[in-house]
Amino acid sequence: MTTPKPTLAVWKFASCDGCQLTLLNCEDELLQIAGQLQIANFPEASSQVIEGPYDVSLVEGSITTPGDAERIRRVRRQSRILITIGACATSGGIQALRNFSGDLAPLVYASPQYIDSLRTSTAIAEHVQADFELRGCPIGKHQLLEVIAALLSHRRPNVRGHSVCIECKRAGLSCVMVAHGTPCLGPVTQAGCGAICPAYHRGCYGCFGPMETPNTKALAARWRELGATDQAVHRAFRTFTAAAEPFRKEADAHDAR
């Protein structure tokens, strides 16, 4: 008799589903994942749901409603290992822009009294313990497969906290800031995307959030020297991981309002 396969659940909170799609887009590897793990609860892929508890939960999205703040606790209780995936789950996502403005609901909805949401969008780890946080907007397929493979063989995932610059230079790319004068968030952003924007001669947008020791102040000063306005610096830090503390603070420091 063989041992039963570990079970996998995929959960969605406030998000665009792009990170779950990264899993679905694995295609060939998805079959391999299904060979090693029992996909027990993944509504985006199958309407068949097996009851928990689960060995591994992948959690996408941020907490934006009182209901979700409750639901994440139930997910945590049912999960032996909980891994958050993507910018929403790890920092609050683009919807965390609401954290920095007044109540927007009356501007958007005709009857805002029916909207039951929290004032802020927050990361999963601010509510329950996350055993591993996988960054990205969206997450990268290779990093996701690496985390799952590492989990299956009981080893530490090879996911590093250093800058995008290191993977950019490993890929043999020339620095877009130095060679083109293009402002780039690479030096303060965590690696993992494969330096995809510099590969197309664009500056990094910071989708993977702050790297391990981000010197945002020094980078912002360099952006200003390259001709970026304070507003441009403010906006650059206020995107997909706006609520991540180092980016939040740097955006605040360049807030013209």
Partner 1 sequence: MRYVLDLGGLGQLLAALRQRGFRLIGPVVADGAICYGEITSAADLPAGWTDEQDGGTYRLKRRDDGALFGYNVGPQSPKKYLFPASATLWRSHPPGTADTDDEKPFAFIGVRSCELHAIAVQDRVFLGGQHPDPLYAARRDGAFIVAVNCGQAARTCFCVSMSAGPKADAGFDLALTELTGEGGHRFLAETGTPRGEEVIADTPGAQPASPRDATAADQIIERTAAQMGRAMPAVDLRDLLYGNLEHPRWDDVAARCLTCGNCTMACPTCFCFSVEDVTDLAGRAAERNRSWDSCFTLDHSYIHGGPVRTSARSRYRQWMTHKLATWTGQFGTSGCVGCGRCITWCPAGIDITEEVAAIAADT
Q: Which residues of the chain form contacts with partner 1 (CB under 8 A)?
A: 29, 32-33, 35-36, 145-146, 148-150, 152-153, 155, 158, 160-163, 165-166, 169-175, 177-181, 184, 186-188, 201, 211-213, 215, 217-219, 222
* Identity of the residue, 190 or 241, whose beta carbon is nearer to partner 1 in the bound complex: 190
Rounded to a whole number of angstroms, the minimum distance from the CB of residue 94 to partner 1 is 25
* Identity of the residue, 15 or 189, whose beta carbon is nearer to partner 1 in the bound complex: 189
Rounded to a whole number of angstroms, the minimum distance from the CB of residue 157 to partner 1 is 10
* Identity of the residue, 103 or 212, whose beta carbon is nearer to partner 1 in the bound complex: 212
**Which of helix, strand or coil describes residue 132?**
strand
Cα 192 to Cα 141: distance, rounded to the nearest angstrom:
10
Residue type (1 letter), 154:
H
Cα 239 to Cα 203: distance, rounded to the nearest angstrom:
14
Rounded to a whole number of angstroms, the minimum distance from the CB of residue 177 to partner 1 is 5
* Identity of the residue, 83 or 188, whose beta carbon is nearer to partner 1 in the bound complex: 188
In what order do the strands lie in the sheet containing 38-41? 38-41, 7-12, 54-60, 79-85, 132-134
Residues 6+ apart with CB under 8 A from 5: 36, 37, 38
Maximum pairwise Cα distance, the chain: 67
- Integer Rg of the chain from CA: 19
Rounded to a whole number of angstroms, the minimum distance from the CB of residue 169 to partner 1 is 3
Residues 6+ apart with CB under 8 A from 137: 18, 86, 87, 88, 93, 94, 207, 208, 240, 241
Rounded to a whole number of angstroms, the minimum distance from the CB of residue 253 to partner 1 is 15
* Identity of the residue, 187 or 192, whose beta carbon is nearer to partner 1 in the bound complex: 187
